[in-house]
């Protein structure tokens, strides 16, 4: 052999290495899960029908000159998701339990056998208890396949769907109470415009990995970053200032900042007069807003008044934010003649706010929140002088008095004129802007013409309503359709389902775990709310009708539920004759189900992710490979079930049921009806129909189709369309600008969708007055779980999207790979707890065991249990939810008041998991976990 040939032969390993990086094709991919806002475009590489790797596409274009683009969107979970595609927990075939629920013994069955059992159980339920006894647990997982397609047959039958807002408790009740919307969402690139960014009740270093670079870039651009948190959080590490706040005292801090802003003359008075209700007059005798009905016999409930300082008289408040020549007084006391002739004293709501803030001088507030008075003053001055965004997370909403914290935080923004302009405001979550998802199922036939006709009909309804009040915005009118629809059931507030069917009644009536300011029992408040019709249509199934068939499609109820397995396995599980889990992996809920159906995973089906304002792109997750084993997309599973239901209905001669509207629903033609005569039976066909419809509604450029989406993998939205959450963004969507919500309020003077048409800080609902919460106030969190010395906080884990990535071997290698409880080093030493050893966590509810992670980053008295771990990762499958009571705040049952009414995804009680009280001790055997 020549020297050259020898050299070539010695380098054969290079070819082998090159061979590793060969692929046959590349597809667009993403991960349509609740890593909100998701939408990271990926390239997925396939070889011999197997996904061999994925990587960030990094193909986003620059939107606004001078603002960094969104590349390279992605995270470590996404970069290794293909490991789970072929992981050991994949469900590859329909499974039927062979032992008791949760025993872990399974039998592989055919699709036909599984679907026949499910269809018969559903038909039994329809015949014996009604459609509402079939319950789908709401979940945000799974993109369009799950949100729009997986439940099509259940929705057609009129099954109950629990509202995801309570299921995931990512609601911001204080934002909703203030703005009539909980969901202002700036695009992530708009963070770049902020001069001051407050990371408050949030940990974006864990929860917003793809967008975190905007914090770094904003800082490089001159922004200052302040982190306000009880612990020295992973996000605090990268900020300019860390403000440690005592757990649950954020309202005291915010209210004290408000006090400083007012006292030091830093308030933006014009903004407050125009944008807020603080200039509206309130009766001194009963604390209610002065209304037209007070002044005139038969007057309106929703016409309010202000004192015009220029004219020196009480006048009707405009129904929009356009004050014209009016100058609402913020101070003073006035008298009006009531309808019965009596003189009534009235004061601007701002006067009452000033009185409330008397309790929050920085020195007093410091005693409550633990922040030094000078730091409070300094923070207040900074916010008042800079374009400020508060990067709020969802920790506040998960706190018992989180609504008060959020209302106080919004007040800081209001007093400083900090919304409705780039770089200012706050944030939550929203989905929408893919209206085709809403239209396809209601169309009589496929095609764009049918969509245009539906749009026309909806517009006629909206216009008819607007003819009665021209100041009503599209957002208000479409929301009103949502309020009306809520009375018909279907999607229902999960809390009422839990109360009547899942054993929470007893827990919520524990006065020692509840709010000490409650004057009555939880039962009494609920009874009054029901008697007044505030939750009409919201109790499904009715209290005397047990749930019969339960579907969990892509979610993981037994991990996620506060108070979790302890209550659900005891109260809900025995009532259900059949529990069906549809998933690509075996979750804890799957392990306790009767039947598990295998769903296709991300790279195995055509799908679209959330349509969120954060990214303003529709992102395609395409079918790169065929589904593993016998897995099917959610749409195909749904259609197989529809066919089987019709087959079994015919065999049982049970051919029709009646809808809640009294119209007939045929059971023998479900497949044909859902697929519009078979035209939309294919995944690509139904999704293409949605894309085309979405182009008709204006969310996407004209002519966009699934095929054009396949060219680029993503498409920037061109308009908000018709969905309520999209319209709630209330700003023009411009092709070459970042998005900041509420510019329609500041620039066009459009009203907020609240009772008073203003950002509403004064809530004169009778229950709010009873609770002393008509204005924001600080209240201590109740002793949920009992009188114990530690308060537990939580948060989104760094290592997983919920529990989905907890078994990914690559990710497991990046941390301890098991659940841990973060304990302050001083607390640990005082109790003899060592890092890496097990601790027992206990309270009046129950106990659980977890490994301790000792760190000075956690404040004394605080414990952090990041969420997302599967219960089966804990000893005896008892995870942290085992010691959570799962309380809700009684005041969120209030209704019948302007915007404080239920519609899907909005105002409702949501479960609390922050500041649960526990104690800890070394576990008895002291052994390391696992
Ligand atoms: Fe992006 Fe979510 Fe995928 Fe991570 S898991 S890369 S955040 S889409």
Q: What is the tens place of the pLDDT at every residue in 1-27?
A: 666 776 666 788 888 888 888 999 999
617 CB less than 6 Å from ligand 1? no
> Under a CB-based contact definition with an 8 Å cutoff, are residues 422 and 192 in contact?
no
**What is the tens place of the pLDDT at every residue in 430-441?**
999 999 998 888
> At how many degrees (to 10) do helices 402-415 and 373-385 cross?
50
pLDDT band at 489; cut points 50, 70, 90: confident
Which segments of 683-808 does DSSP mark as H helices, in order?
Answer: 683-697, 706-712, 724-727, 743-746, 766-771
| Selected residue with higher pLDDT from 316 and 488 | 316
CA distance 331 to 351: 6
Decide if pLDDT at 276 tops 60: yes
Ligand 1 touching residue 615 (CB < 6 A): no
pTM of the model: 0.97
- H-only helix segments in 348-473: 349-357, 362-369, 373-385, 402-415, 436-439, 448-466
Rounded CA separation 757/761 (Å): 12
Q: Give the pLDDT confidence score for residue 438 in this predicted structure.
A: 86
Mean pLDDT, residues 560-571 = 92
- CA-nearest residue for atom 2, ligand 1, is 38
In the predicted structure, residue 210 carries a pLDDT above the cut 80? yes
Instruction: Among 714, 798, 801, 802, say which to mutate for ligand 1: greatest number of ligand atoms within 8 Å of CB.
Output: 801
Percent of the chain with pLDDT over 90: 93
Residue 210 near ligand 1, beta carbon < 6 Å: yes
- 927 pLDDT exceeds 80? no
Q: Is 204 in the pocket of ligand 1 (CB under 6 A)?
A: no
d(CA 389, CA 153): 43
| Ligand 1 neighbour 208 (Cβ under 6 A) | no
Q: Is the CB of 823 under 6 A from ligand 1?
A: no
Regarding the beta carbon of 605 and ligand 1, being less than 6 Å apart is answered no
CA dist 34 and 601 (Å) reads: 14
Q: Is 619 in the pocket of ligand 1 (CB under 6 A)?
A: no
Task: Provide DSSP, 438-455.
Answer: HHGGG-SSSSHHHHHHHH
Residue 307 clears pLDDT 90, i.e. is over it: yes
Probe residue for ligand 1, chosen from 34, 35, 70 as the CB with the greatest number of ligand atoms within 8 Å: 35
Q: Is the pLDDT score of 512 beyond 90?
A: yes
**What was the pLDDT predicted at 391?**
97
Relative to beta strand 334-337, strand 343-348 is: antiparallel
Residue minimizing CA distance to atom 5 of ligand 1: 78
CA-nearest residue for atom 3, ligand 1, is 78
| Whether the predicted pLDDT of 626 surpasses 50 | yes
| CA–CA gap between residue 847 and residue 841 (Å, rounded) | 5
Model confidence at 338: pLDDT above 90: yes
Q: 140: Cβ below 6 Å to ligand 1? A: no
Q: Is the pLDDT of residue 928 over 60?
A: no
* 332-336, 608-612, 772-776: least confident range: 608-612
Q: How confident is the model at residue 925 (pLDDT cuts 50, 70, 90)?
A: low
Cα–ligand 1 centroid distance for 209 (angstroms) = 8
For ligand 1, say whether the CB of 32 is within 6 Å of any of its atoms.
no
Work out the average pLDDT over 534-563. 95
pLDDT at 930 over 70: no
Q: Which two tokens stand for residue 126?
A: 């329809």
Distance of CA 119 to the CA centre of its chain: 32
Q: What is the pLDDT of residue 563?
A: 87
Q: How confident is residue 610, by pLDDT bands cut at 50, 70 and 90?
A: confident
pLDDT at site 21: 85
What strands, in cross-sheet order, belong to the sheet with 714-716?
Answer: 607-608, 617-621, 714-716
Distance CA 183, CA 905 (A): 10
Check whether 748 has a pLDDT greater than 80: yes
Distance CA 493, CA 904 (A): 8
Contacts of residue 554, Cβ cutoff 8 Å, sequence gap at least 6: 139, 141, 142, 146, 150, 582, 583, 599, 634
CB of 35 shorter than 6 A to ligand 1: yes
The whole-chain average pLDDT of the chain stands at 95
> Relative to the CA of 805, which ligand 1 atom is closest?
5
Atom 8 of ligand 1 has which residue's CA nearest to it?
A: 38
Residue 370, burial from CB neighbour count under 10 angstroms (0-12, 13-18, 19+): middle
Tell me what the mean pLDDT of segment 286-301 comes to. 97
SS3 52: strand
Instruction: Identify whether the C-beta of residue 582 lies closer than 8 Å to the C-beta of residue 597.
Output: yes
The mean pLDDT of 823-830, rounded to a whole number, is 98
d(CA 401, CA 424): 25
């Amino acid at each position: 052999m020549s020297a050259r040939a020898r050299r070539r032969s010695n380098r054969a390993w290079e070819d082998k290495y090159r061979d590793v990086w060969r692929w046959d094709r590349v597809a667009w991919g993403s991960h349509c899960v609740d890593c909100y806002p998701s939408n990271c475009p990926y390239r997925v590489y396939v070889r011999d029908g197997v996904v061999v790797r994925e990587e960030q596409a990094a193909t986003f274009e620059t939107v606004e000159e001078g603002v960094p683009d969104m590349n390279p969107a992605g995270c470590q979970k996404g970069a290794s998701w293909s490991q789970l595609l072929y992981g050991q927990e994949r469900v590859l075939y329909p499974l039927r339990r062979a032992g008791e629920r949760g025993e872990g013994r399974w039998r592989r069955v055919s699709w036909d056998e599984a679907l026949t059992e499910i269809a018969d159980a559903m038909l039994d339920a329809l015949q014996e208890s009604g459609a509402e006894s079939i319950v789908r647990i709401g979940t945000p997982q799974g993109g369009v396949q799950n949100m729009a397609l997986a439940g099509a047959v259940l929705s057609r039958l009129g099954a109950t769907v629990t509202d995801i807002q309570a299921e995931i408790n990512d609601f911001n009740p204080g934002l909703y109470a203030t703005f009539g919307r909980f969901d202002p969402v700036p695009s992530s690139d708009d963070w770049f415009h902020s001069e001051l960014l407050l990371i408050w009740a949030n940990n974006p270093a864990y929860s917003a990995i793809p967008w975190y670079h905007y914090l770094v870039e904003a800082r490089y651009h001159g922004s200052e970053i302040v982190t306000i948190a009880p612990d020295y959080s992973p996000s605090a590490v990268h900020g300019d200032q860390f403000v440690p706040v005592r757990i649950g005292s954020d309202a005291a801090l915010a209210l004290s900042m408000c006090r400083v802003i007012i006292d030091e003359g830093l308030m933006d008075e014009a903004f407050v007069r125009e944008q807020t209700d603080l200039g509206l007059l309130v009766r001194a005798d009963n604390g209610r807003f002065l209304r037209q009905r007070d002044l005139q016999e038969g007057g309106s409930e929703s016409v309010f008044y202000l004192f015009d300082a220029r004219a020196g008289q009480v006048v009707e408040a405009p129904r929009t934010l356009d004050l014209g020549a009016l100058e609402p007084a913020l101070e003073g006391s006035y008298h009006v003649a009531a309808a019965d002739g009596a003189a009534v004293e009235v004061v601007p709501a701002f006067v009452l706010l000033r009185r409330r803030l008397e309790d929050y001088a920085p020195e007093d507030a410091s005693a409550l929140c633990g922040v030094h008075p000078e730091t409070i003053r300094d923070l207040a001055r900074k916010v008042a002088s800079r374009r400020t965004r508060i990067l709020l997370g969802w920790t506040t909403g998960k706190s018992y008095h989180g609504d008060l914290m959020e209302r106080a935080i919004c007040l800081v923004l209001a007093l400083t004129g900090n919304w409705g302009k780039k770089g200012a405001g706050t944030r939550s979550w929203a989905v929408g802007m893919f209206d085709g998802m809403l239209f396809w199922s209601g169309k009589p036939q496929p095609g764009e013409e049918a969509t245009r006709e539906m749009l026309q009909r909806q517009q006629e309804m909206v216009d008819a309503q607007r003819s009665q009040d021209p100041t009503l915005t599209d957002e208000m009118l479409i929301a009103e359709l949502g309020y009306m629809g809520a009375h018909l059931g279907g999607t229902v507030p999960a809390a009422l389902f839990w109360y009547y069917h899942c054993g929470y009644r007893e827990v919520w009536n524990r006065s020692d775990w509840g709010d000490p300011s409650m004057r009555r029992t939880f039962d009494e408040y609920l009874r009054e709310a029901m008697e007044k019709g505030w939750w009409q249509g919201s109790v499904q199934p009715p209290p005397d009708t047990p749930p019969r068939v339960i579907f969990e499609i892509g979610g993981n109820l037994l991990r996620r539920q506060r108070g979790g397995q302890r209550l659900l396995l005891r109260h809900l599980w025995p009532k259900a004759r059949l529990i069906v889990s549809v998933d690509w992996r075996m979750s804890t809920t799957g392990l306790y189900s009767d039947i598990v159906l295998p769903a296709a995973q991300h790279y195995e089906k055509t799908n679209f992710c959330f349509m969120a304002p954060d990214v303003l792109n529709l992102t395609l997750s395409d079918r790169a490979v065929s589904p593993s084993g016998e897995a099917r997309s959610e749409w195909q599973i749904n259609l197989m079930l529809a066919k089987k239901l019709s087959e079994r209905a015919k065999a049982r001669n049970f051919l029709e049921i009646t809808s809640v509207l009294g119209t007939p629903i045929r059971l023998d033609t479900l497949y044909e009806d859902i697929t519009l005569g078979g035209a939309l039976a294919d995944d690509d066909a139904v999704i293409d129909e949605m894309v085309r419809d979405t182009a008709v509604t204006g969310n996407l450029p004209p002519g966009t189709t699934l095929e054009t989406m396949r060219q680029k993998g993503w498409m920037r939205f061109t308009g908000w369309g018709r969905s309520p959450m999209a319209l709630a963004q209330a700003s023009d969507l411009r092709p070459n600008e970042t998005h900041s919500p509420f510019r329609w309020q500041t620039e066009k003077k459009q009203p907020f969708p609240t009772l008073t048409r203003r950002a509403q800080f004064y809530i004169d609902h009778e229950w709010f007055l009873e609770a002393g919460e008509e204005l924001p106030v600080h209240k201590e969190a109740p002793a949920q779980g009992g009188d114990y010395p530690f308060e537990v906080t939580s948060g989104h884990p760094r290592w997983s999207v919920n529990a989905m990535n907890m078994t990914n071997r690559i990710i497991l290698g990046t941390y301890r790979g098991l659940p841990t409880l973060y304990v302050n080093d001083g607390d640990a030493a005082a109790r003899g707890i060592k890092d890496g050893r097990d601790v027992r966590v206990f309270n009046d509810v129950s106990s659980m065991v977890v490994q301790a992670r000792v760190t000075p980053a956690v404040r004394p008295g605080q414990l952090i249990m990041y969420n997302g771990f599967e219960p089966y990762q804990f000893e005896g499958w008892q995870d942290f939810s085992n010691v959570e009571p799962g309380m809700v705040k009684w005041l969120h049952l209030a209704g019948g008041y302007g915007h404080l009414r239920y519609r899907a995804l909005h105002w409702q009680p949501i479960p609390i998991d922050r500041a649960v009280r526990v104690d800890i001790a070394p576990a008895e055997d002291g052994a390391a976990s696992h």
